[in-house]
């Protein structure tokens, strides 16, 4: 038996060896670097290869192991796609680059003020009220303007703009339903000015009709915030395949009001222009106002129409629009509250098939205007324009769903509502409020985007022989 005194008992110094503390302390001293990165990675790769993969003792059964199909979401999504035949709506979003709603830059990017500068007077957005004169609007001060987000995120239809549009649709006061969306940039891929968004299904018409959706205040506010215009159309085959387009002439296909131009010759321009403006705004009966204005033209030489041809300015994009539509096989018509000689001249310039306007009576002896309309021809007022749209469509066996009408005055509203697509082009305020759709762009060729065409299509059509 060993002597107990010869056994070495453990001491505190042995338990607190330097190696023990070094191995177990939380923050170890840094290891000296004596390897390069290639050696370190190579060593790690060898270690990984030396470790055998774990073996699953239970072999998988492909006939029994399937996906659970559970989708984690705050909404009650279904795993299946939308049923075939679900209605779809197309929203064509135009950035208003030429006519910004917000005339002031955001403070972060605005130029430095110059001493003595005055703040511009407040303005009423175009198309938002029957008059743009602040003094004539008897109401409370308008609500603060929405933040001009296009100045922050770019003067084009940005991705954030599209996201905000979809959020606007989802925020409409209707029961939530699963929505699918897609979009196309119609003019260019980078920083597009025109984007087409398709979404399905539209809001339940029991809660929000399509007519009300087009004019919903949430859509209007979105337009104001992002400086855009939104045109909503039901996605049907005839949205893309129309066959008849009818146009107003004055302030639509041409930039002038013909009767005002005639009035300049005899010095009654102010009187005639005031009546014209009130008539186009719907404040006066069109037929009565036309007769009153024509009466002021008594004694004007009949050759005034030949002189006016050099004064008239065809609207930007009108030639490209008519050329593209003719290449697609459209029938075109100009239905004008103006006068027949100039409507026929314009039809020749643009390749238009039908030209119908008012006929001024001419004294055969003196070759002067009598101040009357030819009684055997009907006055081309709002009802007559709608009737002509329907008769031309019937003559060519074209359903109204395949027709398009474009105008700017109150006397165009009936035909705009009767056509498959009615566009108020740079229209009077009341007309913009009441028309099915509106556009205030620079070029009439923008209307081609509403037919689902993109910029490459437009170039191909306008260059076709």
Catalytic residue IDs: 248, 250
Element (H, E) at 386: helix 382-395
Q: Report yes or no: 312 and 256 within 8 Å, Cβ to Cβ.
A: yes
User: Is the separation of the CB atoms in 231 and 94 below 8 Å?
Assistant: yes
177 Cβ partners below 8 Å, 6+ apart? Answer: 201, 204
For 11-27, the three-class secondary structure string (H helix, E strand, C coil) is CHHHHCCHHHHHHHCCC
Residue 71, exposed/middle/buried by CB under 10 A (0-12, 13-18, 19+)? exposed
Q: Name the nearest CA neighbour of 427 among 411, 445, 450.
A: 411
DSSP of 311-348, one letter per residue? T--BPTTHHHHHHHHHHTT-EEEEEEEEEHHHHHHHHH
E strand or H helix that includes residue 369: strand 369-373
- Tokens for 60, please give them: 């998988």
Distance CA 226, CA 165 (A): 10
Candidates 356, 351, 354, 359; CA nearest to 395 is 354
**Cα dihedral sign for 99, 103, 105, 111?**
positive
Short-list 198, 91, 90, 191, CA closest to 150: 191
Long-range contacts of 455-462 (CB under 8 A, 24+ apart): 455/186, 455/187, 455/188, 458/320, 458/324, 461/323, 461/324, 461/327, 461/328, 462/320, 462/323, 462/324, 462/327
Spatial distance between the Cα atoms of 376 and 359, rounded to a whole number of angstroms: 9
| Distance in angstroms (rounded) separating the CA atoms of residues 290 and 262 | 13
Q: For residues 300 and 370, what is the distance between their CA atoms, to the nearest angstrom? A: 8
Q: In what order do the strands lie in the sheet with 331-339?
A: 354-358, 331-339, 244-247, 403-407, 421-425, 437-439
* 3 state DSSP class of 442: coil
Contact 210, 202 (CB under 8 A): yes
């Amino acid at each position: 038996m060993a002597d107990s005194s010869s056994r070495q008992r453990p001491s505190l110094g042995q338990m607190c060896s330097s190696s023990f503390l070094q191995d177990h302390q939380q923050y170890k001293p840094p290891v000296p670097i004596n390897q390069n990165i290639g050696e370190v990675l190579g060593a790690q790769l060898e270690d990984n290869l030396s470790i055998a993969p774990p073996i699953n003792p239970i072999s998988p059964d492909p006939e029994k192991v399937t996906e659970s199909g559970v989708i984690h979401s705050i909404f009650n999504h279904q795993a299946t796609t939308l049923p075939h035949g679900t209605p779809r709506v197309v929203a064509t979003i135009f950035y208003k680059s030429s006519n910004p709603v917000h005339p002031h830059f955001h403070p972060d990017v605005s130029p430095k003020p110059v001493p003595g500068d005055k703040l511009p007077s407040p303005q009423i957005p175009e198309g938002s009220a029957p008059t743009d004169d602040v003094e004539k609007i008897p109401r409370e001060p308008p609500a603060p303007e929405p933040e001009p987000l296009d100045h922050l995120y770019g003067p084009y239809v940005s991705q954030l703009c599209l996201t905000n549009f979809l959020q606007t649709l989802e925020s409409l006061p209707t029961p939530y339903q699963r929505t699918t969306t897609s979009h196309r940039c119609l003019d260019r891929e980078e920083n597009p000015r025109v984007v087409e968004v398709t979404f399905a299904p539209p809001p339940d018409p029991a809660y929000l009709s399509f007519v009300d959706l087009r004019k919903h205040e949430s859509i209007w506010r979105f337009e104001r915030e992002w400086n855009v215009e939104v045109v909503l159309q039901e996605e049907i085959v005839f949205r893309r395949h129309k066959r008849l387009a009818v146009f107003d002439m004055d302030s639509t296909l041409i930039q002038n009001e013909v009767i005002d131009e005639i009035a300049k010759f005899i010095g009654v321009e102010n009187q005639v222009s005031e009546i014209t403006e009130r008539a186009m705004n719907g404040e006066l009966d069109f037929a009565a106002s036309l007769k009153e204005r024509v009466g002021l033209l008594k004694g004007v030489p009949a050759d005034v129409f030949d002189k006016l041809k050099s004064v008239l300015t065809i609207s930007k994009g009108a030639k490209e629009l008519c050329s593209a539509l003719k290449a697609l096989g459209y029938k075109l018509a100009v239905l004008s509250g103006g006068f027949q000689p100039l409507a026929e001249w314009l039809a020749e310039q643009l390749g238009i098939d039908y030209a119908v306007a008012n006929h001024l009576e001419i004294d055969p002896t003196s070759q002067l205007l009598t101040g009357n309309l030819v009684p055997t021809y009907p006055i081309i007022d709002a009802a007559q324009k709608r009737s002509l749209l329907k008769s031309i469509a019937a003559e060519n066996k074209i359903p109204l769903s395949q027709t398009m009408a474009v105008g700017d005055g109150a006397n165009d509203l009936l035909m705009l509502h009767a056509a498959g697509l009615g566009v108020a082009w740079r229209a009077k305020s009341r007309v913009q409020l009441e028309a099915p759709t509106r556009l205030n762009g620079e070029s009439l060729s923008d209307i081609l985007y509403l037919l689902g065409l993109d910029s490459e299509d437009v170039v191909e059509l306008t260059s076709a022989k």
